[in-house]
Amino acid sequence: MKTIGYAAHSSESDLAPFAFDRRDPRPNDVAIDILYCGVCHSDLHTARNDWGNAVYPCVPGHEIVGRVTAVGSDVTKFEVGQTVAVGCLVDSCQHCDQCHKDHEQYCREGWTGTYNGADRITGENTMGGYSTHIVVREEFVLSVPDNLDVARVAPLLCAGITTYSPMREWNVGPGSRVAVVGLGGLGHMAVKIAAAMGAHVTVLSRSPGKEKDAIDLGAEAVLISTDEAAMARAASSFDFIIDTVPVYHDLNPYLPLLDTDATLVIVGQVGPLVETHTFPLIFARKRIAGSLIGGLKETQEMLDFCGRMNILPECEMIAMGDINTAYDRMEKSDVRYRFVIDMATMPAAA
Ligand code: NAP
Ligand code: ZN
């Protein structure tokens, strides 16, 4: 099917309209008209080839919400007209131990990304949600709770699950003392979700201007990470820290804030960090861990949790043509707190 999207053609070029074909639905596929797509910092990293693995043309977007327009003959879970969502994954091997544990994001054979991945059948580069439609196998399509505003739900598909999954893994719950480093797309979801889980949430931000927002989002306290006295007073006061900083940075100021046996989980920067001192790790059995998005079952669990608790991201709606400005603003941490593209603004032709 002819599809219009927005693509980057090189690491230096702006995103621009781009026409391409989506496959006809296979028997196990769901065809979806995209209504909204969130703008994740990973989209920017990929379009600009920060991770050195970009394949061009690249149509980013992995926070997708839309309506089913057709289903293949073997599809049982979805029907035409239903509101559905697609996140960061569109396929995995489905037979390794990790896939059997519903951890498709750790598939032994490698998962297939919604964009910048290789289709498991044709090998073609996958194209993401900055586009008018998408075709995805049934197992990788999610149901959207009816009560959630469809215009705001998209960022849950990456920012939501990436913060929910490690909080479940490390048992965040009532009374947990949680700190969130970086109040951006992921960070603001971490605050909302942790607060809804019953945790006491502190935001660790470089940006004094975000203090009021942090409290409004559900945090009880804000620590400005450059305030050394305040950081010193917070020593050993957290059970769990989630670090969403997207660039090279220093963990050394954060490790003393962990209590004994507590965990700092990195979900932001992929790549090297400032050299880390092991003293706090060894002398108080603290841990540094990493975490990648979440599997399909857990993503559905997160959507249902957000439906029950009425949790939605704070979105700034943009037109498709505003994407390059949105990237520039995101790079300067100037977004409150997630851009969402209204796909009705896509040009009719590329
Ligand atoms: P974002 O909206 O740009 O937010 C990042 C926040 O980090 C900023 O708002 C800022 O918060 C802080 N920050 C930015 N630059 C910083 C710097 N130089 N030093 C310290 N803090 C800085 O980005 P996002 O969409 O939340 O994504 C965050 C990162 O997570 C990206 O690298 C993305 O690729 C990654 N990611 C990972 C996964 C995964 O599965 N692990 C999934 C999705 C995204 P303050 O102003 O409060 O300091
Ligand atoms: Zn993402």
- CATH of residue 246's domain is 3.40.50.720
10-residue block means of pLDDT along the chain (350 residues)?
Answer: 96 97 96 98 97 97 98 98 98 98 98 98 97 98 97 98 98 98 97 98 92 97 94 97 97 97 97 96 97 98 98 98 98 95 93
Rounded distance, CA 315 to CA 294, Å? 22
246: in domain: yes
Is 59:127 a contact under the CB 8 Å cutoff?
yes
Q: Quick check: CB of 155 below 6 Å from ligand 1?
A: no
Same domain, 277 and 184: yes
173 and 47, same structural domain?
A: no
In a domain, 305, yes or no: no
Domain boundary among 290, 306, 337: 290
Q: C-alpha dihedral over 188, 190, 192, 193, to 10 degrees?
A: 160
pLDDT of residue 65: 98
- Ligand 1, atom nearest to 270 Cα: 32
**Cβ(162) – ligand 1 distance below 6 Å:** yes
Question: Which pLDDT belongs to residue 208?
Answer: 85
**Number of domains observed in the structure of the chain:** 2
246 lines ligand 1 (CB under 6 A): yes
131 & 204 share domain? no
Which residue is listed with tokens 């590329």?
350
Give the range of the structural domain holding residue 260, as residue numbers without chain letter. 160-290
Ligand 1 near 206 CB (within 6 A)? yes
Question: What are the tens digits of pLDDT across the range 137-174?
Answer: 999 999 999 999 999 999 999 999 999 999 999 999 99
Helix extents (H) in the chain? 41-47, 97-100, 159-169, 185-196, 211-217, 228-233, 279-283, 296-309, 323-331
Within this chain, do residues 68 and 174 fall inside the same structural domain, yes or no? Answer: no
One domain, residues 44 and 139: yes
> What is the Cα–Cα distance from 22 to 3, expressed in whole angstroms?
7
* 285 Cα–ligand 2 center, Å: 31
CA-CA distances (angstroms) from residue 168 to 43, 133, 173, 180, 229?
A: 25, 32, 8, 15, 32
Is this structure's pTM higher than 0.95?
A: yes
Surface-to-core class of residue 141, CB atoms within 10 Å of its CB (0-12 exposed, 13-18 middle, 19+ buried): buried
pLDDT tens per residue, range 165-223:
999 999 999 999 999 999 999 999 999 999 999 999 999 999 888 999 999 999 999 99
Q: What is the CATH classification number for the domain harbouring 140?
A: 3.90.180.10
173 and 286 share one domain: yes
* Residue 322, helix vs strand vs coil: helix
